[in-house]
Structure 1
């Protein structure tokens, strides 16, 4: 099959009158400056789809449930207690239903691959299911149903605090020892074996949840696949790490692990200048989740300085309180504007488009972090493609990078028309092709969960 468009953002930049040949899930040919051929599917604007490098799919079901003020100061830590209560009754069927909705919404917003940071493993009593990867199987089923590409990141979680503190009752469904995690990892690989182009990495949850010895053993299990870790998200986490070790979290990690381009440091919000430069020098990707970080009151990552030094980043939807690829990029820039009281702070240079700079950075960094590097729309690349609604007033008179700037800063997910993953159209007219059935199952599952 072939797609023809008036404008396409190819790996080398914007081109007009472009014809993309698709074969076996990849872009097999690109013709520039040509007319559409009979049978071609015609569009106005085509772009590469983005990767969503950090998701906890089940948290889509609790969006809005933690927005009531408590008796004291609310924070990430009080939000976490709400999350613990939400998962108390969640079963595999509920996991499937919630993940399917989250993944459909990701596709509708312009994401085509998700990094699922999966830590809800066991039954409500904290016992392993008959198959230790039962919950991972539910995630894989949701990915298969929606068509999103999956990088599954099973999480090692053994402790509640630095130094190997015993896990709490609220964490009972997350916890494994090293042998249990090895079995889980094997089960996850089996769970995704029937999916197209799936990747399985590993995710030590955080320095709070794994000792130094456990961190070394878990990362060795990656065998070259992606390694993701939450780190330095909250100031109390930094303070606790200093009290325990005398070092800041990222500083400690670089002193005790061989961090390289296969690593993704999720959040890394509160870092020193030396830690920032260590991340840049290692080639690791920072996983930024601006909507969730704002929702939780985490703080702002020093993105302006990090990108100026050549740092690599991607974006993720994390808690899935709102799923919108363009909105993540917009809030990333706006956070820096508020912090530095300036504009266009993350553009790659004078005269460069901020939207294009953000999009290109998230595309390349996110692909690296999820084990599927991408240069965008090019021959041999995955046919993960977004078309935009060019008839929307937002795009009136726009061409080239102004399209990206207008989508990111003047629109949102509503401007997405179609999305192809692996050459298969999963979104048409802004709506996932299976949305009706996914919505119905989600309503039933979450209604029962919250009854």
Structure 2
């Protein structure tokens, strides 16, 4: 296989920033050797600050096209639930081809802002009339095609969505495109098996305890091949928590742990409203808390119990969810700022041995996102994917920074995008801040939006 290299004056290795590093990768896009304390060779590319790429652990790609369209107050109080009604109406209109165009636009933006992998929580499976397409995995394939077009690594998570609420309430008419049972989800997963490779993994996502019964969740997770990721929405809104209590006598996280074997394969998305027992259960399970601060802020969900969760050695990562933002920096910045507002203090997300908040959050989100993806990503180590983001060392925010302050400067100074170049599987997909296929991707997206806004 062809071997390629990149020289980093500073590379963020698992042990921290390391000087004079040569990264080697093979033709399959995996890191094959890492040399430290070396001199650059005349022919190889040289970069200042190189970090592993981040995983976006929670995405509904089609919602990218809604961004900015729901920020109009209604006559009564607005909430997640009124936003959801608008989202359903939009979801009824979109075609599979439009899903690909929107996904490609989204993923190109995410790549430019530091994400090199995405976990796609995909639930629009049926045609607008409520029937399946001739290929039951048609819409999933279109989203995967959007990832392939951009170079984004993807974990596709077909969503089990059978009920409208607790007590197995029947789906509403405007939820007809989401309707799936266990057998149908397993058929979609089977249909996608041949697409699995180093860039693409296939897992599963029971939508929530509202939309899938605990018996269904047990059945689908038992049938899933070993080691595949399992994601679920959980405890996002207090209305959900209260409805779960009324229906079952238990809070959502409590019910999940009482009925399922939750382990490292699981990602519990949002988990916004937790009591101390639930915090401890999640942390002990070694599952991932999927925190989506820009969406949780946009929808008014609330603040994750981050301080207690860190104290319990809980694992976590970040996602962009409804894509009010596509920025790694914004998610991490507001993960910390939300806690500062809640606690009325500063530098909340720190631990003994790592007092630099940005460094702690960045490294934890790399690890948590990688685990949630089920893929060999998240660190610059032999055998992992050669997914790398390069910070702009010529930007004023970084030119005068000491290496130990780089991540603090990236996360907490200004709004310029300090990610200049991006490699995925050793292939450069972003150069000088521009995606390699941006013109074509943008043209397709604009045409798609012109169609959707005429509806």
Q: Same fold (TM over 0.5)?
A: yes
CA distance in 2, matches of 1:350, 1:376: 20
Residue of structure 1 in register with 2:39 after alignment: 35
Greater CA drift, 27-36 or 420-429: 27-36
* TM superposition shift of 1:373: 5.1
Q: Is the 8 A contact 1:119 1:154 kept in 2?
A: yes
Q: Is the 8 A contact 1:377 1:383 kept in 2?
A: yes
TM-score by length of 1: 0.97
* TM superposition shift of 1:350: 6.0
Deviations 1:352-409 (A, max 9, x none): 2111100110011111111025461122221100101111111132132310011011
CA distance in 2, matches of 1:180, 1:378: 38
* TM superposition shift of 1:411: 4.0
1:45 maps to which of 49, 62, 69:
49
**SS of residue matched to 1:173:** helix
2:102 maps to which of 98, 102, 119:
98
* TM superposition shift of 1:326: 1.1
2:86 maps to which of 82, 94, 110:
82
**SS of residue matched to 1:238:** helix
Q: Is the 8 A contact 1:112 1:421 kept in 2?
A: yes
Q: Is the 8 A contact 1:108 1:413 kept in 2?
A: no
CA distance in 2, matches of 1:176, 1:188: 16
Q: How does 1:267-416 map to 2 (within 5 A)?
A: 267-349=270-352, 352-372=355-375, 374=377, 376-412=379-415, 414-416=417-419
CA distance in 2, matches of 1:345, 1:158: 40
Residue of structure 1 in register with 2:119 after alignment: 115
CA distance in 2, matches of 1:178, 1:366: 26
Deviations 1:288-319 (A, max 9, x none): 00000000000001001101110000100100
Residue of structure 2 in register with 1:148 after alignment: 152
Greater CA drift, 390-399 or 367-376: 367-376
Residue of structure 1 in register with 2:76 after alignment: 72
CA distance in 2, matches of 1:348, 1:223: 36
Residue of structure 2 in register with 1:219 after alignment: 221
Q: Which runs of 5+ in 2 are unaligned?
A: none
**SS of residue matched to 1:217:** helix
Q: RMSD of the alignment, in Å?
A: 1.3
Residue of structure 1 in register with 2:161 after alignment: 157
Q: Are residues 1:182 and 2:193 paired?
A: no
Q: Are residues 1:254 and 2:237 paired?
A: no
Deviations 1:214-260 (A, max 9, x none): 11111112222111000000000000000001110000111111111
Q: Are residues 1:60 and 2:64 paired?
A: yes
Q: Is the 8 A contact 1:109 1:413 kept in 2?
A: no
**SS of residue matched to 2:177:** coil
TM-score by length of 2: 0.96
CA distance in 2, matches of 1:123, 1:132: 10
Q: How many pairs does the alignment contain?
A: 449
* TM superposition shift of 1:103: 0.7
Q: 1:375 to 1:100 in 2, by over 3 A?
A: closer
Q: 1:177 to 1:381 in 2, by over 3 A?
A: closer
CA distance in 1, matches of 2:230, 2:404: 33
Q: 1:412 to 1:382 in 2, by over 3 A?
A: farther
Deviations 1:100-147 (A, max 9, x none): 011111111111110000001011111100111110110111111011
* TM superposition shift of 1:80: 0.4
* TM superposition shift of 1:351: 5.8
CA distance in 2, matches of 1:361, 1:351: 11
CA distance in 2, matches of 1:272, 1:295: 23
**SS of residue matched to 1:314:** strand
